[in-house]
Structure formats: structure tokens, C-alpha cells
Amino acid sequence: MLSACGVSTKTNLTASTTTTSTKADTSAPTTAIGGDSDISINGSEIDQLPTVPGPTTTPHRPDLSTAAGQTTFLRQVFADIQSVWNDEFTASGLSYSPARLVLFQSQVSTACGHESANVGPFYCPVDSTVYLDTRFFQSLAAQFGVTGDFAEAYVVAHEVGHHIQNLVGITSRVGAADQAEPSASNSLSVRVELQADCFAGVWAHSTYERKLLEAGDIEEALNAAQVVGDDFLAHANGAAVDPDSWTHGSSAQRKQWFTTGYEDGIPDACDTFANA
């Protein structure tokens, strides 16, 4: 259904990797990457960011039944997420450069290349842009029964999480580690994706603190995280699961790291690159 691309060019929400199988635990991969590089990849900037929230815009409850309503909601959520991260950076004395949001259908040209909707939502670090095909959410609903405004918000927050990684240098350090040790590419990719899930949880924590959450919102996000796990997608495509081939992490891992960010509410809790 949805394909994944390497972290050196762009990062996206889902993967369509399907192969053979054992059940993995819910922690990030524990294999050391390039000696001490897995410790340095996270960098020091994330440690400086305080607990959310800060003053932000407030998204209105959406009418997702119309294309116009969904577009408005996605742009409002995107603005709110960026406002939260801007406040985080400002409080730490760091400079925040905003990302851009492009909504498209079917295909789109980006600084990372020409992409079809099959790639799923993705972030291109070259042009600092989040790309969303709005029909992706229709696909989640039709194929897996995942619905709700907070499921969509989780997707947006995950992609903005990749922008945060780009701003603080994690993306470039992962690219360097990937080139130095190509055999660790999949493990690095999983760590990158799980950290973006955790950053999405950090933003979700801010919505809790601002009393924006409604009953069932977090469950909607967790349902979305569940169906974009590598193991879930493999089973959905009729294949067994091979953890060594994963690029995004299992459903359990993705849910765990989103929950970590949500419960702790601080970016420093999102170090998926540390050795266990």
C-alpha cells in the first residue's frame, strides 16, 4: 500500500515492507550504530527544549466530512504544532525556521523528487516541507477503520517531528551514520520514525495541558499509530514480518513512543538513539 524512502532524502509516515517473522519488543532498536554515534546523533539541542506547552493558536473542531473542512483543519493543526515548537525553540534560545505544508492529490513535485500518493505523507528536508495527500486519510478509514480528527492531527505532528529533527541536525547526523555504516540503515530509519512519533506525542501533551483534548482523542492517535506499524502493514498485505527489514517500527513501538512523548511532554524524553 504505502512505500518508504531513505532518511537521507525524505521521511514519511508509513512503509509497505513485507517479509518474514518474529515479534519484536516495544523499545527502539538496541544495536549500537557506529560505535558511539548512536549517542551523538540525538545531539544536545533536544536536551535544551523545555516541557510544553507555550502560548499557541487553538484549532477549531473540524467538519471532516467536506474537503474544505478537512483542508482547513489540517492547516490549523499544522499552524498549532509549529507554534508549540516555535515556543519550545525560543524558550531554549534556539532559532526556529517554520516548515511549509503542501496538500496534494495523486502526485507532487518536490525538492526531494517527484512523488505519487503511494508514498504516503512525507517530509522533504531539502525544502523543509510536509506533503500530505488528503486522500491518505480516506484510505486509513476505508482500509483500517481509522477515523477522527486526532488521528489526522497525529499524522501531521509526526511529519513536523521530522522537521524538528532536520532543524536540530539529527537528520544530517543520521545521513552521515547511514553512509558510514550502510548495514545499519534500517535500524537508523526506525529510530528516526519512532522519534517523530514521540515528538508528535509531545505536541499532544500540549493539547492536554491546554484542555483541548476530548474523550477518545488519544485513542484515535494510537489507532493511527497501530495501523502504520511495519508488522501491521505486513499482515495487512498477507505477508509475515521480518523485523530486520523494518524502516518505521512495529505498531507496539510506534504506540509506545507516541505515548512516551504524550506522558512526559518534553522532547528530551524522545531519545530513540540511546542504547538500551
Q: Going from the N-terminus, what domains does the chain have, and what CATH number goes with each?
A: 11-20+28-270 (3.40.390)
Count of CA atoms in the C-beta half-sphere (13 A) of 61: 5
pLDDT computed for residue 27 by the predictor? 53
Of 266, 273, 124, which is closest to residue 204 (Cα–Cα)? 266
pLDDT computed for residue 41 by the predictor? 75
Of 270, 223, 274, 227, which is closest to residue 248 (Cα–Cα)? 227
Backbone angles phi, psi at 104, to 5 degrees: -145, 170
pLDDT computed for residue 49 by the predictor? 65
Round to whole Å and give the CA distance between 118 and 140: 13
pLDDT computed for residue 206 by the predictor? 96
Residue in this structure with the C-alpha cell 511549509, named with its chain if needed: 100
Mean pLDDT by 10 residues, the chain (276 residues): 37 50 42 44 69 53 79 95 96 95 93 90 97 92 94 97 97 94 93 97 96 95 96 89 91 97 96 78
Length of the chain (residues): 276
pLDDT computed for residue 14 by the predictor? 64
pLDDT computed for residue 3 by the predictor? 28
pTM (two decimals): 0.83
- Residue 11 corresponds to which cell in the numbers above? 521521511
pLDDT computed for residue 64 by the predictor? 75
